[in-house]
Amino acid sequence: MADNTGYNRFLLLVAGLGGLLYGVDVGIIAGALPYLEATSGFNAGQLSFIVAAVLLGSVISTLFAGVLADWMGRKWLMAASGILFVASIPIIALSHGYGFLVSGRLLQGVSAGLIGVVVPLYLAECLGASSRGKGTGIFQWLLTLGIVGAAGIGMYFSIRVEQVAKLGDAARLLSFKDTAWRSIFWVSLPPGILFVIGSLVVAESPRWLHRRGRTGDARAALLRSRSPETAELEIAEMNRVAAAETAKSAGGTLRESLLSRKYVIPFLLACVILACNQATGVNSIIGYNTNILLQAGLTDVQAHWGYVVLTLVNFLLTIVGVLLVDRRGRKFLLSAGTAGIIVSLVAVGLIFRSTERLRVDCREALQASVLPDQTLDLRFDGAAAARLLGSGGDAGRAIAGNPVSLVVIYSYGDFRAATNVVRSDDATAAPVAISKDGCVPPNKVVAFFSNPFANLAAARTAPLRIENALVTPVPSERNGWLTAAFTFCFMAFFAAGPGVCVWLALSELMPTRIRSNGMSIALLVNQAVSTSIAATFLPTVGRYGYSTVFFAFAACTVVYFVTAAFFLPETKGKTLEEIEAHFEGKAT
């Protein structure tokens, strides 16, 4: 039994490393993004896609993860997902162009999507009934730890950047920022290597082996984590299930319509819950947290500390959610969590609104600065801000003389883009540089996905049009800390409620007949929403401000709250058959 206990702990450790990698995939970009933004020359749309590429890769791999897990086996798919993660790191860290960087991030996303499906599946099939809850909890717990670790790495390099900045050498600072974002990715390599090694050592899933007719191998796999008596009981159970499925198939029984109430209602509920789970903006708030806090009024180091605290809140409150989910129930935690999320998002939106309502559009003054070759290059310092605000009338004079930020929304023909937000009090900020390369797609394929109705040939010869040049007062440090506090509240409510409950509720809602395909579709909806939000986050912020984005997230969360509070049944303590009977309209 001692050997079994040791192996079970090792199995949980390997699965936990998978959760750790998933968390690193989500969180690593937040610490690297400010330095990538400062040194790469990418525009807001390109940076948004770099962030969203992980989510897009995850969408792609989720579609095939179930098929691959059945074909390759759970163990080998885990190892393959780890190898993809390991391969992505040098592609990203050594990249010197947009294409390689996006390719590496897509590869990370493919790895994350495979891990997110195959590791929980492997745990469910390998762990005994008494250990499954603990196994899922460890996976989720170490996932949040991965986000904390990514934040800690970003914090370390933020302190180093501040030390270099004090030397007053702008060229050296720019060079170190380039080194910093590459090093942040290199540091995440060792957990990936450990996960690959661990995946090769653990046994294959006994359920997968049994379905392949390899009963002897399945028994051997069970014996690594069970006593001989328990292993034989489970083998007998697998044999009974297989015999029942064979008999049912041979009988040719007429099956119910998939459009019946018992299938449609839980499927739609699951899709709404998963879509709304991402529409709270959680991934973008985590991924862009450092940028959000910088624009809220905090310094670079303060913003990185704020991100570290945010990830710690996520980590600690996940434990609280795991402890409460079987005591208070899924419906209670989802309802209470979404209610708290709404209040937190509205508060952050109001804080940003207090300064964004003072923003001035200086597009005409900036349009006059466009060069004959239809490009623009502007170093946005105090003097440049004063010149722009001088054209803004009374509204411009009202904020003149104070630190301000600038974002430019521009277009060439049918294609639009937004610059990164720059602050007039940041002496190390790169100039605002606008050219066709940052806006007009290089080929028809990219153009189709950017705007399927656009005329690419016309855009290549179109003049530069400044649609908006929005100058906004930089909020006070007090505003920055208030924003940080409410984002911490957001994270606390999410971690203890939707963060813990959503996947458990999803698996319990889906009837047995449609569980695998239904969950795949619902997960695809979840990731598609997340990818869309991440890809449009920065351009939307540039055009409409953070306040509008946070109010939109709050509106989507209202739909989530209503669904959880009034339409979702409580599944705590009920068998799957009782839950299915509930959706058939039968008394349970």
| Residue pLDDT, tens place only, 466-491 | 988 888 888 888 888 999 999 999 99
Q: For 1-202, give the CATH class.
A: mainly alpha
Helices 330-356 and 300-328: crossing angle in degrees, nearest 10, is 160
Higher pLDDT among residues 517 and 269, named by residue = 269
pLDDT at 576: 47
Averaged pLDDT for residues 211-216: 81
pLDDT at 484: 93
pLDDT band, residue 1 (cuts 50/70/90): very low
Q: Assign residue 203 a region (left: φ > 0; alpha: ψ between -120 and 50; beta: otherwise).
A: beta
Q: Domain segments of the chain: what residues?
A: 1-202, 207-245, 360-477
Residue type, 515: R
Averaged pLDDT for residues 120-125: 72
* Measured distance CA(406)–CA(302) in Å, rounded: 21
Q: Is the pLDDT of residue 251 over 60?
A: no
Determine which of 241-250, 285-294, 323-332, 398-407 has the lowest per-residue pLDDT on average: 241-250
Q: Convert the pLDDT of each residue in 17-40 to its tens digit.
A: 887 877 777 677 777 877 887 787
Q: Convert the pLDDT of each residue in 52-66 to its tens digit.
A: 777 778 778 877 877
Cα–Cα distances in Å, from 167 out to 162, 176, 177, 216, 255?
A: 9, 12, 14, 67, 74
Please name which of 452, 317, 448, 432 lies closest in space to residue 378, comparing C-alpha atoms.
Answer: 432
Residue type, 300: D
Averaged pLDDT for residues 282-295: 81
Q: Convert the pLDDT of each residue in 406-428 to its tens digit.
A: 888 888 988 877 777 788 887 77
Contact 231, 223 (CB under 8 A): yes
Q: Quote the tokens at residue 520.
A: 């795949």
pLDDT at 80: 93
pLDDT at 253: 47
Entry pTM: 0.68
Averaged pLDDT for residues 84-101: 89
Query: If you ran DSSP here, which 8-state letter would residue 422 be given?
Result: E
